[in-house]
Chains A and B, each alone.
Chain A
Amino acid sequence: MTLTVAWTADRIAAIALGAAFLAFLYVYFFRAHRREGVAAPAAVAGTAEQEATITVSGGYDPEVVVAKKGVPLTLVFDRRESSPCSDEVVLPEFGIRQSLAPNAKTRIRVVPERSGEFPFACGMNMLHGLLRVED
């Protein structure tokens, strides 16, 4: 079948708009993603423990947690929503799949024994965060 299209101004504008929106989507979701780390401070002054609170609300905030190697680390997931998308958090390298109670804090304690970057994600791998362990 043949399409005869009158190339009116609004049609051309729609194409331009669509293209611009696609470019925006690409940049918004895949580029220029801030990935600054937030260092996990000592949980208690003078103790060899570190702790970081991650707010879970449509994503992980901060997205990147920086921790010191070999020091026990408590990640406090402060979940402020009940959307099932963030029901669970998975730290594959640590063998942890933990359900997060809605509107509550869930503490997960790990000992980062190797340095490197260890991603964590929601149970469906749509929300992403990163634990960076430094020497």
Chain B
Amino acid sequence: MTDPVCGMAVEPARAPAKRRHGGREFFFCAPGCAVRFDKDPAGFASGTRGREPMTSSPPSPFLRPGKTLPLFGAPASRKSAGATVPASSPPPLPRMPRRERGETLTLSLDGMHCASCVSTIEQALARVPGVREASVNLGTARASVRGENLKAATLIEAVEASGYAARADSDPSGGEDERRARTAQRSVLRRTAASAALTLPVVLLSMSGIRFAGRDVLLLALTLPVYFWAGWPFLSGMVRTLRHRTANMDTLVGLGTTAAVLLSAAGTVFPSKFAAAGAAGHVYYEAVGVIITLVLLGRWLETRARGRTSAAIRKLLDLAPKTARLIRKGVELEVPLSEVSVGDRLAVKPGDAVPVDGIVRSGSSAIDESMVTGESLPAEKRAGDRVIGGTLNQQGAVEIEATAVGSDTALAHIVRLVHEAQATKPPIQKLADRIAGVFVPVVLGIGTVAWVAWYVFGPEPRALFATVALASVLLIACPCALGLATPTAILVGTGRGADAGILFRNAQALERAKSVTAVLLDKTGTVTEGRPRLTDRVRLARSSDAELLGLAAALEKSSAHPLAGALLAAAVEKGIPLPAVSSFESRTGRGVVGTADGKRVLVGNAALLQEEGVDISEVSEDADRFAAEGKTPLLVAAEGRVLGVLVVADREKSGSAEAIRRLRTQGLRVILLTGDREATARAIAARVGIDEVFADVLPADKASKVVELQRRGDVVAMVGDGVNDAPALAQADVGIAIGAGADVAIEASDVTLVGGDLRSVPDAIALSRDTLGTIRQNLFFAFGYNVLGIPIAAGLLYPFTGWMLSPMLASAAMAASSVSVVANSLRLARRRG
């Protein structure tokens, strides 16, 4: 059947609404369609209306003609979700007016099935007084309502009147989900408290040894509410899973407590039969109460602790402010973040968080980017520099132009990357997963075998001991510890990484990083800053700073050589004016020759000056010394006489030497990889503490160097920053992209370091080792616990020692096991990171 209004397929038996018209029955996908049908039954029934969900609806009051209504999956962005302007409509219409500062309310909707529902609800909402605009997104099942003096209750009423359910949703980013989770948590806590309160007298009475007529009946009466009400989650879970032919913790706890209750109730109702079997007074009411209380408590603790495992990600999400200061026609306006779009100008005041990714257009400031890049020193930002949303502006005020908003921002990328990594499983989890998949049925089998064994071979009263052993086995077994061992550690580990600007692409990368034996460091941009700077200068007495640097910089200004930028920047920084250049010639491999300030100027290596007949004896020693240090000396001459030497070099990053020292302490082989000549490479390597160097490596050969190491049995981590490192990053066992900054979508790498500090590399390896260590401990504990606990609970030790575990102890051990696994994972977050 099809819905005559929206044309959607409807199953008559499950249709939420139906109508009879003209002797035919019509079924609707949702009540809203039925409401629409009622307005023109003849039209819809004859098919002259309908089937085209959108055009059939009367134009809604707040939509201009020419707009299309939201289709499913249309981006939930902006306030008029999905309402798009066809490309053909000339000049792009301005988006919804921004000056209106009316409030926005978000509702969560239920019962929507088709686009027709969307327009029904939108119209219902638009009719509410005060509403200026309402838009419904089918994809997110949310309505966004804008206007003045809005009351959630009135809006909900309007939605409900049109046949749907709605509830207020103040925070569309999932706050509702969190609220529900909290409600569920509170209900667990309530059950735990009630269960404890009812169990306490049972325990006291049972242990006191006081006996009176009807004692057991009183205990039964106190225990039943615990079993049925407090234990309801287990009982209902047991029934639900068994119906699905699956089994989980609920099944085990439900069956275990049921066995204990049935046994005790039988003893209470038929005491004579129990006495006859030598089992008089064997009731386990206190055990039932304590078990349910403990398992509930364990569950509450576990959920709480697990909530904390993703705290790092939540912290990242909270970095972005909720509002931005939009500058429109010179006026500053505070608007919700969702209303900022690319190209908007935004003001960022001192102390503000940068709202979105952007480029500084005016002003300058220091911005603390540590939360995103992990770098502790604030970065200086001035016009033209990129800023990252979520970072903290310190003193200056800047105006930025938004370059990425919403899910396109660096922060959103980071969160997405981390989320994706957290969804993956490291190979180490495979076995645990296979076991968890069959765990509960196998435990039920072991329980059965234990019951039979006790019944056949056990001491009298056999049936009693057999049932107690069965209950103990069911209660001590804990698949949760197995299931939680890896994911919780991965959550905490990747979260701690994200906190420090270290993003693991997946769990496999996290696992592999711990077994790395050799680290290949690309030189430029990784160990060094990747930007040559003027580092030293030798000036002869006959010249001045202004002359030396001014002439050289003026000439180099016309050159595209990377070294030129260094001279230019130095001149600008020192405020040295650049004289006019009247001629310019570049001599490949030698330098530049030209006329500046009316003088013939040479800037280049010794060969250039000698060719031109300039005597360089005064500076040649200095030049050689700098060259030996791996720097580039530029000799400057004017009118045939040497003025001095400008030394340009790509400096090591401040943390490089420390990073390399730490990598070596971690037992790793560290190798510098560069296209520089051997001597230059050696000089730099020596300064940062590396002894192994691969020099003269063409970009295309970097990957083959990785292969070379891998052939010799090394597990290689390659650290690089540039596009030309991509093949090597992909070839390496662990490719680490460094300094990705805002551009975190580096496909070839396994690990992305958002900041540029090389110290993040030893941090990443330490994090990997820590996380894998925690996973191993967790798995060892979870396996060991079950492998030891289940046989003991089954009574395997009884023939030798006479030990038999009480179901109460079994459940305490079970509750403790999963909590301790989560707690162990949480310890990861507290280590130095």
Residues of chain A whose beta carbon lies under 8 Å from any beta carbon of chain B: 1, 3, 5, 10-11, 14-15, 17-18, 21-22, 25-26, 28-30, 33, 41-47, 49, 51, 57-61, 63, 72, 74, 81-85, 87, 90-92, 94-97, 99, 101-107, 109, 122-128
Contacts and interface: CB of A to CB of B under 8 A. Distances in A.
B138 interface: yes
A1 B241 contact: no
Interface string B227-247: 000000100110111111111
Contacts of A21: 448
Given A11-B455, A14-B455, A49-B72, A33 B237 contact: no
B53 A44 contact: yes
B721 interface: no
B115 A104 contact: no
Contacts of A29: 245-247, 438, 441
A124 B445 contact: no
Interface string B50-78: 00110000000000000000011100000
A84 B253 CA distance: 13
Most chain B CB within a 10 A radius of its CB, from A1, A25, A43, A85: A85
B248 A126 contact: yes
Given A44-B115, A87-B303, A101 B176 contact: yes
Contacts of A63: 244
B246 A128 contact: yes
Nearest to A80: B240
B483 interface: yes
B484 A124 contact: yes
Contacts of B395: none
A124 B448 CA distance: 24
Contact of B184 (A14, A45, A102, A127): A102
Given A46-B53, A92-B423, A126 B455 contact: no
Nearest to A12: B456
18 contacts: A1-B799, A14-B452, A18-B449, A22-B449, A44-B71, A44-B114, A44-B138, A45-B2, A45-B6, A47-B115, A49-B73, A58-B239, A61-B244, A81-B240, A85-B248, A87-B306, A92-B425, A105-B110
A101 B423 contact: no
A15 B43 CA distance: 71
Contact of B452 (A1, A18, A103): A18
B530 to A, nearest CB: 32
A76 B250 CA distance: 24
A101 B72 contact: no
B457 A5 contact: yes
A82 B233 contact: yes
Nearest to B9: A41
B487 interface: yes
B248 A127 contact: yes
Contacts of B711: none
Contacts of B423: 90-92, 94-97
Contacts of A51: 72
Contact of A124 (B110, B239, B245, B436): B436
B53 A107 contact: no
A3 B8 CA distance: 71
A18 B448 contact: yes
Contacts of A99: 177, 181
A127 B141 contact: no
A80 to B, nearest CB: 9
Contact of A59 (B2, B246, B419, B433): B246
Nearest to A17: B452
Contact of A45 (B9, B140, B482, B506): B9
Interface string B167-187: 000000000111011011001
Given A87-B303, A107-B141, A58 B115 contact: no
Nearest to B434: A125
Contacts of B438: 29-30
A5 B484 CA distance: 43
Contact of B444 (A25, A44, A96, A122): A25
A85 B249 CA distance: 7
Contacts of A14: 451-452, 455-456, 466
Most chain B CB within a 10 A radius of its CB, from A3, A41, A43, A83: A83
A82 B77 CA distance: 31
A107 B139 contact: yes
B773 interface: no
Contacts of B480: 84-85, 124
A43 B448 CA distance: 47
Given A18-B449, A103-B180, A97 B419 contact: yes
Contacts of B242: 58
Please list the 3 inter-chain residue pairs (A to B) with the smallest Cβ-Cβ separation, ordered nearest first.
Answer: A124-B483, A58-B240, A59-B244
Interface in B244-272: 244-250
Contacts of A26: 441, 445
B8 A45 contact: yes
A59 B241 CA distance: 6
A12 B144 CA distance: 69
B299 A101 contact: no
B422 interface: yes
A2 B236 CA distance: 44
B244 A3 contact: no
Contacts of A25: 441, 444-445, 448
A37 to B, nearest CB: 16
A58 B241 contact: yes
Contacts of A128: 246, 437
A81 B2 CA distance: 32
Given A58-B237, A85-B248, 11 more contacts: A14-B466, A15-B452, A18-B448, A42-B9, A44-B115, A87-B303, A107-B141, A124-B480, A126-B439, A127-B246, A128-B246
Contacts of A57: 240, 244
A50 B188 CA distance: 36
B450 to A, nearest CB: 9
Interface in B292-342: 299, 302-303, 306
A18 B448 CA distance: 6
B420 interface: yes
Given A44-B71, A57-B240, A82-B187, A95 B456 contact: no
Nearest to B423: A97
B441 A30 contact: yes
B820 to A, nearest CB: 16
Interface in B771-801: 799
A82 B441 CA distance: 22
Interface in B391-445: 419-425, 433, 436-441, 444-445
B108 to A, nearest CB: 9
Nearest to A111: B73
A92 B140 contact: no
Contacts of A59: 240-241, 243-246
A104 B506 CA distance: 29
A18 to B, nearest CB: 3
A84 to B, nearest CB: 6
Contact of B437 (A47, A90, A92, A125): A125
A135 to B, nearest CB: 21
B7 interface: yes
A92 B480 CA distance: 19
B479 interface: yes
A95 B424 contact: yes
A125 B436 contact: yes
Nearest to B180: A101
Contacts of A97: 419, 422-423, 487
A17 B452 CA distance: 8
